[in-house]
Amino acid sequence: MRACPTVLVSFFCLLLSLLLAAQPRPWNEEMVVERLNKAAEHFQTLTANLQFTKVTVVVDDKSTESGRLFYSKNRRMLIEMTNPEAKEILFTGNKAFIYYPKMAQIQEFDLSKHRALVEQFLLLGFGTKGDELKDSYLITVLGETKLEGQAVLQLELTPKDERIRNQIHKIHLWIDLASWVPIQQKFFEVGGDYLLTRYTEIKVNVPIASPRLQLSAPRGTRRVKPRADM
């Protein structure tokens, strides 16, 4: 008994639709910029687990720190490191504060001279408009891929600012296609070393209690400024 032509046509149409659905979308720079602009309109806050891995290639050394991140659109951010050493890092305006509970000490740094470089490391991609990204970087779309089961779009960014490019010559971003925030960043330093930042348990636009964006140091904790030229 021959198969009904209608059944065969339906089967091949279904097969074709599945094959097309499995193909990555043909992203380009303009599409990425537009999508990031749209996502930035609604971005307010972000919380996540984070892991920093610094790799020094020459001596084959790898060091890892992990903790939690609390970030608000007004560029106020608290990183709460728990492993291997407990410490809190607060970024607000042009200042950075590092609280070491074991030392009962807060170190204060003026970032005004290094603000652009700091933002490349810590603020890149969270609520960033696509137009801002395009102004600061040459954007190369590397395409869709999977990162630990998540659908992501991988970008390569080359800093336009020569001062930054002399230290960080390119950056890779893996952007979650559902939330349009980075779940991984890789900073390639001149010389071959790199920093890999991984974000998990990401929550966007959830309320963040005020204490979560402040150091937990008790009143009267000693403050120091390690370097006057920072």
Q: Domain with 56 in it: what CATH number?
A: 2.50.20.10
Q: Tokens in use for 138? A: 């040459």
Residue whose C-alpha is closest to residue 217's, from 71, 72, 89: 89
Residue 135: CB atoms within 10 Å: 9
Structurally, the chain folds into a number of domains equal to 1
Tokens 């599945």: give the residue: 18
CB 52 within 8 A of CB 69: no
Going through 111-206 in order, the beta strands assigned E by DSSP cover 137-147, 150-159, 168-176, 182-189, 194-204
146 CB-side CA count, 13 A: 4
Say how far apart CA 167 and CA 188 lie, in whole Å.
8
Q: Which of 4-8, 39-43, 117-121, 223-227 has the highest mean pLDDT?
A: 39-43
Residue 130, in any domain of the structure: yes
Residue 229, in any domain of the structure: no
Does residue 230 surpass a pLDDT of 60? no
Q: Determine the pLDDT at residue 167.
A: 87
Does residue 228 surpass a pLDDT of 80? no
Please give the DSSP secondary-structure letter assigned to residue 3. Answer: P
Q: Determine the pLDDT at residue 114.
A: 76
Does residue 151 surpass a pLDDT of 70? yes
Q: Is 196 exposed, middle or buried (0-12, 13-18, 19+ CB in 10 A)?
A: middle
Residue 121, in any domain of the structure: yes
In the predicted model, what is the mean pLDDT of residues 27-53? 93
Residue 175, in any domain of the structure: yes
Structural domain containing residue 217: 28-224
CB 87 within 8 A of CB 133: no
Does residue 173 surpass a pLDDT of 90? yes
Residue 205, in any domain of the structure: yes
Residue 208, in any domain of the structure: yes
Residue whose C-alpha is closest to residue 46's, from 180, 156, 151, 195: 180
User: Is the bond into 26 cis (omega within 30 degrees of 0)?
Assistant: no
As a whole number, the mean pLDDT across the chain is: 86
Tokens 């996540």: give the residue: 48
In the predicted model, what is the mean pLDDT of residues 32-59? 93
